[in-house]
Amino acid sequence: MSHKYSVIVVGGGIVGTTAACALAQAGIDVALLDARNPEREWPAEPVDIRVSALTRAAQNILQSVGAWESMVQRGVGAYDQMHVWDADSAGVLHFDAADTEFSELGHIVENRVTVAALWDKLETLPSATIICPSRVADLQNNQQSISVLLADGQKIEADVLIAADGRDSALRQMAGIQTTGWEYKQDGLVATISSEKSHQFTAWQRFLPEGPLAFLPLKNGQCSIVWTLSHQTAQDYVALSDEDFLQRLEQASEGVLGKMLTVGPRGAFALRFQYAKHYTAERFVLIGDAAHAMHPLAGQGANAGLLDAAAIAELIIKAEQAGRPVGSHKLLRQYERWRKGDNLAMMSSMDVINKLYTKQNEGFRQLRGTGMSWVNHSAWVKNYFNRYAMGLRDDLPALAQG
């Protein structure tokens, strides 16, 4: 005998749990499945090396599902300026919250903070069920429902299944959805550092020949770094002594934050451009990294996933309230049309920028410098890029509009 839900969400990270919270808040009977319980408490140090730069639209979503207040209590770091410059040209870009109606451009938040706040909220919602630990062994579709067979032999059913199980999604493979993309042959090296000078609540990013180096300001005065490097260089830098690594980092940053003082644990992950050829199958839908993986140079991956979660939740809630089937082909295709174009536009933009800034041709260097200077001195264009980066664009899901 299997239990029947309206919606099953597989994947208890930021994106999946946001979708589950949004649905459960509206009274939708939803089950969240994940292989492990996330940590809810941790010592003040060290900071999690996995952080996200959350936009205003992402903040609106997290406020709407009731997680933001708990996130603030655990610790979020606002930044009100962004300074971008090119190592190989005179190009400079400067964005300032003072040019917007907001007091900040966004927030840098440890991923564990966001996940813990979302799980705390989900556990308070009567129409939500958490099945954890659990691992999906198989999917079965019929005319009435989609069935999930778990590794422990348990079977559950739903009208629709939302897969939010990451870039290497096992559920996507089970559903027979193929992907397109390529490896960047670059790694993202991440760590937490302390510096001589204050970060001034500014996100700093310098474009270097192997890829961009970003300093993301944390609430405790430290910075989280995301350094795009060739695969071999990243592996070499992970293996360096702290002293040697800090010396390389200080040189690469052009001393913008003064002397590099300390570095915590380092990690490197392979970067990939990847998108699912289809976001949906019968009674099945992909969101977040399961649907798309993009270059991290503008920190938009988590934000795009949160927009996915808000969009599919909105469509399911409207269908439920109108008495229409929530797993219909028409509804799921509407979600795909809504989100796929926006995601591909963002992914392609990041891809073009990454390739443009790793070209060492003199013509490209001049083009980059001229382009950055033009944008920096054009108030209208800069404001457009600023608002787009903050997630404030047309056709947002209702939750993202606040």
Contacts of 111 (CB under 8 A, 6+ apart): 13, 14, 48, 50, 51, 52, 302
* In the chain, % of residues over pLDDT 90: 77
CA distance 46 to 273: 30
CA distance 350 to 347: 5
Residue 224, H or E segment:
strand 223-230
CA distance 171 to 41: 30
Q: What is the mean pLDDT of residues 304-326?
A: 97
**DSSP label at residue 48:** P
54-111 confidence digits (pLDDT tens) = 999 999 999 999 999 999 999 999 999 999 998 877 778 898 998 888 899 999 999 9
Any idea which residue has 């990847």 for tokens?
274
* In the chain, % of residues over pLDDT 70: 99
CA distance 162 to 206: 37
Q: How confident is the model at residue 1 (pLDDT cuts 50, 70, 90)?
A: low
Ramachandran angles phi, psi of 159, nearest 5°: -75, -30
Q: What is the mean pLDDT of residues 139-161?
A: 94
Q: How confident is the model at residue 392 (pLDDT cuts 50, 70, 90)?
A: confident
pLDDT, mean over the chain: 93
- Which pLDDT belongs to residue 99? 87
pLDDT at 385 over 80: no
Q: 205, 298 in Cβ contact below 8 A?
A: no
- Which pLDDT belongs to residue 376? 79
Residue of 267, 316, 277, 224 lying closest to 22 (CA atoms): 316
**DSSP label at residue 156:** E
Task: Please provide the distance, in angstroms rounded to a whole number, between the alpha carbons at the two ends of the chain.
Answer: 41
Q: Helix (H, G, I), strand (E, B), or coil: what is residue 185? A: strand
Task: For the chain, list the domains and their CATH numbers.
Answer: 3-181+272-401 (3.50.50.60)
pLDDT at 126 over 90: yes
Tokens matching residue 209:
């020949």
158-212 confidence digits (pLDDT tens) = 999 999 999 999 999 999 999 999 999 999 999 999 999 999 999 999 999 999 9
pLDDT at 402 over 60: yes
Tokens matching residue 62:
């997290």
Pairing mode, if any, of strands 30-33 and 128-131? parallel
- Which pLDDT belongs to residue 222? 96
pLDDT at 133 over 60: yes
Query: Positive or negative, the Cα torsion across 31, 35, 41, 42?
Result: negative
332-355 confidence digits (pLDDT tens) = 999 999 999 999 999 998 888 888
52: β partners: 109
Ramachandran angles phi, psi of 147, nearest 5°: -110, 140
The residue type found at 72 is: V
Q: What is the mean pLDDT of residues 268-296?
A: 96
- Which pLDDT belongs to residue 16? 98
Measured from the Cβ of residue 132, the count of other Cβ atoms closer than 10 Å reads 13
Measured from the Cβ of residue 266, the count of other Cβ atoms closer than 10 Å reads 20
pLDDT at 44 over 60: yes
